[in-house]
C-alpha cells in the first residue's frame, strides 16, 4: 500500500479480507460475512472452539483519531449485540457460547505490512469493554 491512500470502501474490503485470513489462520471457521439485519451489520460471524464469534473489523490508514479499535463505540457495540441476537434467533442457535471480537488493522504510511490485532472477547453483551 506504499504511498497509496485507499478510499473508505476499498479500505473496508481490504481490511475485512485481511481479517478473514487472520481468523482462518487462528483456527476460526467463517460462517457468514457482512451479516445484515434491521438492527445493523456484523462484519464476520465465525465459529471458534465451541463459540460463535461476532467480529467487528476496524481498518484505518492513520492514528489521527486514535487506534482503530476505539472506533467501536458504545452505540456501535449496541448495534452489534442486537444484530448478533437477531442472527442467533433467525438461525435457531441456542445453548452456545458467544464472543464479541474486534480485529484492528492499521496501515502505516510507506509500509506494506499493516499492524493487525485480534481482540478476543473485546466486549460483552452487557457493555463491558476489555481494552
Q: Which residues of the chain have pLDDT under 50?
A: 1-3
- Distance of alpha carbon 128 from its chain centroid, rounded? 17
Q: What is the pLDDT of residues 90-99, one digit of tens each?
A: 999 999 999 9
73's grid cell: 463505540
The answer as to whether 50 is a domain residue is yes
The answer as to whether 103 is a domain residue is yes
Q: What is the pLDDT of residues 55-66, one digit of tens each?
A: 999 999 988 889
The pTM is what? Answer: 0.91
Range of the domain at 27: 8-123
The answer as to whether 128 is a domain residue is no
Residues in contact with 56: Cβ distance below 8 Å, sequence separation at least 6, in sequence order: 42, 43, 72, 76, 80, 100, 101, 102, 103, 122
CATH of the domain at 50: 3.40.1350.10
Total domains in the fold of the chain: 1
The answer as to whether 3 is a domain residue is no
Amino acid at each position: 500500500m506504499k504511498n497509496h491512500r485507499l478510499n473508505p470502501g476499498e479500505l473496508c474490503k481490504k481490511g475485512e479480507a485481511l481479517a478473514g485470513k487472520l481468523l482462518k489462520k487462528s483456527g476460526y471457521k467463517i460462517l457468514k460475512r457482512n451479516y445484515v439485519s434491521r438492527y445493523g451489520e456484523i462484519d464476520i460471524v465465525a465459529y471458534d472452539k465451541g463459540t460463535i464469534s461476532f467480529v467487528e473489523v476496524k481498518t484505518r490508514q492513520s492514528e489521527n483519531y486514535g487506534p482503530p479499535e476505539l472506533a467501536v463505540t458504545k452505540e456501535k457495540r449496541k448495534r452489534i449485540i442486537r444484530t448478533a441476537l437477531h442472527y442467533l434467533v433467525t438461525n435457531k442457535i441456542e445453548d452456545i457460547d458467544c464472543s464479541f471480537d474486534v480485529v484492528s488493522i492499521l496501515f502505516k504510511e510507506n509500509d506494506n505490512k499493516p499492524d493487525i490485532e485480534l481482540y478476543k472477547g473485546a466486549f460483552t453483551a452487557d457493555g463491558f469493554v476489555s481494552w
